[in-house]
Each structure stands twice: as structure tokens, then as C-alpha cells.
Structure 1
């Protein structure tokens, strides 16, 4: 794929750029082309210049992403530390795709807006949360979406209401040549102290039940209807099970931890092993929540 750092581009571009440090699991391959746009206009320029047949992958905080060791062909657009515009008008909040969910939660608390406290427990960006309908503690991202901005493959941006998208559990249907670049949310009005208290309580609950601070993907599998993936995995005796440098957390069985030496392929093999054991012992097929991208080595 031929892409040059044209003088009209203002962002950060690299070739054959390692991506391990851009994922929370801290392992994986490289991007053929890595681009971090300066802002939304720069992103539009990059997309306009990108060859029409080139592959395009988006990466936020990499908290729900496994990049295989063979790397990613085409261009990877990284929204970490960019596309961070956020504004508040009454009980409505506009946020671009690169805003971290943690920052969104802090802004909501500052303005005395409630309902979105759960964002404090999601270690990703608004773009990623929109793409997978991320949720925690009984709430989901799209519960609060009023309007969406979508960027097309040619750099054009269009807006649509929530009703334009088929939204489900950890899944949102959107055409392959379109991506969420911003959203307008509507929340409830509450006191700032009450909102901050809610966040503290949710974070305490998360920190006491999950292996926070260790390199992981977050939740590896989606919960089957009426069940919890973690409890199913634990019942199968898989806590602590290891493949190479990757192992099932002893604290929360739906987390896979990188002990410091894990490769992406260790994680892939462990995911497949868990699926096989669970299917054999319980009949459940655990569908991955983690996004597995890139080529096998």
C-alpha cells in the first residue's frame, strides 16, 4: 500500500509500527501504516488520500483488542490522545471518538449529570464504546445516545439518530465503510457530589472484583443469555490455566492476563482452549468479546 506523509497531513505517521504498547494486553504485531490524526479535519484529509482498495483498521485505547503476531495490513488509525473534543450543553454531551470513557465520566460528574457513571469502569474510548455498545454495572453506551456522527471511507461525515442503527448486546450494526466518529448523549441531571459518589462506588466494586492494573483485554467473552461467562469458566476449573505467558485470572475467570512474556498467539490458543472445554462440559459456546484482528504469524 502506497501512502506518503503528504504536506497537507498534520498527524503522526509510521510504517511497520509495533502495536503492542497500544493495547492493554501489551502484545501483538505491527501496523503496515500507523496514523494518528491531529484532529477531525486531518482525519478527513487522510481518508481522502488513502487508496480506495486499502484495508482500514481503527484503534482506540486497545483495551478490548488482540493484534495477532502477523500484524495488520493497510492503515491503522489510532484515536488515542486525539479526536478529544467534548462539550456540554444542559444535559446533552457531545464527545468525539478519541475521548476516553474515564474522562467522559469525570465531565459528567463535574456538570452534575447522572446515568453515565458506568463509563468510569470502561477502559476504552467513546469510539470503541459506540462500536461495541460497551457496558458495565447494568448500563450500556447506547442507552444514552441521541445522535451519532459517522465518517465514511471517503472522509465525508454524516449525522443520524439512534434509530438508524441496529443495536444489540455488545454489538452495533454499521456498514463496513463507515465508522463512528462522535456522538451526542443525553443524561439525567443530578448533583455533582452524588454523581462522584456513584463513580467511587462503581470503581470500588470493579477494583475488588477484577484484576485491575494487570495487562489484560478486560472481559474476554460475552455473557450467554441468563448466564455469566466468568462463572461458567470457573465451574469448568479453568482459573489459573496457562498457555505460554497467558493465563486465566484467579480473581475473575473472564480475564486473561499477560504474565509479562505472553504473545498474542498464546492468548489466541488460550481463548480457543477455554471455548473447547466450556463447550464440552456445559454445551455453551462462549463468543469472544475481545476483538481479534491482524494476521496469524
Structure 2
């Protein structure tokens, strides 16, 4: 699908904008599934001030969404109307200070974990197991290997829909399991996390164990979107999927991973429709066999063909 080019209109309304605006920009290369249609407009702000300028000037009737590393994202084949905001290099700074780490929303979680480890800050090693960026981890209270963002969160900065820069504490974030209660129209730009004093070598060893466990039990280095479904209360999604006989189930070129059944994999050439249909088929079978209705953890965006 090709969208009308609205970039001249958007740039005219935001004098002084520094980041590029790309019309009909391919999103498949930015998604770990490597599939899906284009963004009508892809905006890559230079920094928080550039993002603030853009948000303040963006017309109210133009839809928008934010992406980071694209690890927990399924872009539908028809693409995404409106503006996709991608937080890139201007949002990837990481700095340790005492027992705290400040990181841009575009910084990979694994790099935050490593920075904390090297600074002797214990408690953030679990971030090594989250294949995404800080912004996504904030928005979904990312967690793995016994830790969650809410456990180490201190504060966050964000740009509001009207361009204001705001600061949020734990109460404003209202974290719950794989959820954040902060307003959906905030774009996180930075976060601060804190831990306790620890030995760098021991923390790095803990991270190495996480790396080895992920490699042994999850389809890493493949075209996947991370955990597909949220764990229902008191249950494991992968066990429910396995119990429904879905291990290795294939639709088109999309497959339920034989290694870990809560992962969907693009075997090569899968469409977003293949992947989403496979996920919905799994949900139907789990519902029929266990009575449990699985909830998608992967964010599905855009329109079908």
C-alpha cells in the first residue's frame, strides 16, 4: 500500500524541525519479524527538544505511534497510517551515577544491564533477558528472570501530546503485570533506575547465565517478536499453548516455535497476516482446550491489506 505524502504539510507546520520525515518508509526492516507494510510517515527526532517541537505542531487528526527496536511489534501488511516516531541515536545515552542508571528511551535494555553491572549496581541484570529498548520496557513494565521494571524504577521523562516535557514517578506510572498506567499519549524519552551495591564480576556472571538460558530455551537470533502472549494469572502461556497441541504449528511461513511455544517465528517470507492468523489460531485452540483466553503481549499495529 502507498499512502499520500503528507511530509511537506507536516514540516511546514513545524518550523525548525531537525529530524527527517520519510514518506512511505518501509517498516519491515525495523521489526524483528521483518514483515509488514510501510509507515505513511516515519519521523526520527534528533532529541527530546526536536520531539517536543514535532508533537506540539502535529495536527490532532493525524494518528501517531512510537516504536523503538521493533522487538515486540507486528506491523500489519497494509502499513501504518499517520506518523510512526522512531527513537534512535538521540535517545540512547546511558550514564551510571552512584547506585542509579539514567538511560534514554531508545537505549537497548541489554546495554542498560551491562552499564549497571560494570558500575557495580545490582538488581538490573534481568534487563539482559528483555529483547527491546527502555521505552518499551517502561510502557509494558517489562520483566524477565524474576525482575520487573517496577522493581528498579525511580523516574521517567516524557513528552506529552501538546509538546510539554513531564516527569513521572512510580505513582504516576501505576505499574501492574505487563502494564503501565501512565497516559497513552506520553512519549517516554528517558528513565532512571536504581539498584544496590554489588560486585561487577558477580553481576556479569549472572547476566551470562541469563544469556545462556535464553539461548537454550528461546529462539534467539531468529525472526520473532519475543513472548507472544501474556501469562494468565497463575498459569504459563507456553504450557497452555503446548497443551493445546500447537508446538510447531505452521500457517504459511509462520510457525509456533518448537523450542518455546510462546514464540512465533517467521520462517522466511511470512506475511504479517500469516503471523497474526497463527496467533489467533493458537488463542482459539487454547480457549477450546483449557477455557483460558490468552491476551496478546506483542503489539499489533497498522491495517491489513
TM-score (norm 1): 0.97
The list of structure 1 runs, each at least 4 consecutive aligned residues, that deviate by more than 2 angstroms after superposition, is: 4-7
1:150 Cα shift? 2.1
1:295 Cα shift? 1.0
1:149 Cα shift? 1.3
Aligned pair 1:275/2:283, yes or no? Answer: yes
SS in 1 for 2:43: strand
In structure 2, C-alpha distance between the alignment counterparts of 1:236 and 1:191, rounded to whole Å: 44
Measured against aligned partners, the alpha-carbon deviations of 1:173-210 in whole angstroms (never above 9, x if no partner) come to 12232232211111111111111111001111111100
Match of 1:135 in 2: 143
Aligned pair 1:221/2:232, yes or no? Answer: no
SS in 2 for 1:224: coil
Match of 2:212 in 1: 204
Match of 1:49 in 2: 57
Which of 85, 91, 94 in structure 1 is aligned with 2:93? Answer: 85
Aligned pair 1:27/2:20, yes or no? Answer: no
Larger CA deviation: 167-176 vs 98-107: 167-176
Aligned pair 1:3/2:10, yes or no? Answer: yes
SS in 2 for 1:82: helix
Match of 1:265 in 2: 273
Measured against aligned partners, the alpha-carbon deviations of 1:201-233 in whole angstroms (never above 9, x if no partner) come to 111111110011110011000011111111111
Match of 2:301 in 1: 293
Structure 2 portions without partners, runs of 5+:
1-5
In structure 2, C-alpha distance between the alignment counterparts of 1:217 and 1:191, rounded to whole Å: 33
RMSD across aligned C-alpha pairs, in angstroms? 1.3
Aligned pair 1:166/2:190, yes or no? Answer: no
Higher strand share: 1
1:114 Cα shift? 1.1
In structure 2, C-alpha distance between the alignment counterparts of 1:39 and 1:4, rounded to whole Å: 16
Larger CA deviation: 166-175 vs 123-132: 166-175
Number of paired residues?
297
In structure 2, C-alpha distance between the alignment counterparts of 1:46 and 1:85, rounded to whole Å: 21
Match of 1:254 in 2: 262
In structure 1, C-alpha distance between the alignment counterparts of 2:117 and 2:184, rounded to whole Å: 35
1:82 Cα shift? 3.2
Match of 1:154 in 2: 162
Aligned pair 1:100/2:108, yes or no? Answer: yes
In structure 2, C-alpha distance between the alignment counterparts of 1:258 and 1:79, rounded to whole Å: 25
In structure 2, C-alpha distance between the alignment counterparts of 1:157 and 1:111, rounded to whole Å: 29
Paired residues for 1:176-215 under 5 Å: 176-215=184-223
Contact kept, 8 Å, 1:36 with 1:82, in 2: the verdict is no
In structure 2, C-alpha distance between the alignment counterparts of 1:175 and 1:141, rounded to whole Å: 17
SS in 1 for 2:90: coil
1:165 Cα shift? 2.5
In structure 2, C-alpha distance between the alignment counterparts of 1:181 and 1:39, rounded to whole Å: 9
Match of 2:3 in 1: none
Measured against aligned partners, the alpha-carbon deviations of 1:31-59 in whole angstroms (never above 9, x if no partner) come to 01101111111111222222222111000
SS in 1 for 2:280: helix
Structure 1 portions without partners, runs of 5+:
none
In structure 1, C-alpha distance between the alignment counterparts of 2:182 and 2:78, rounded to whole Å: 27
In structure 2, C-alpha distance between the alignment counterparts of 1:258 and 1:59, rounded to whole Å: 20
1:81 Cα shift? 3.2
1:95 Cα shift? 1.2
1:12 Cα shift? 2.4
SS in 1 for 2:201: helix
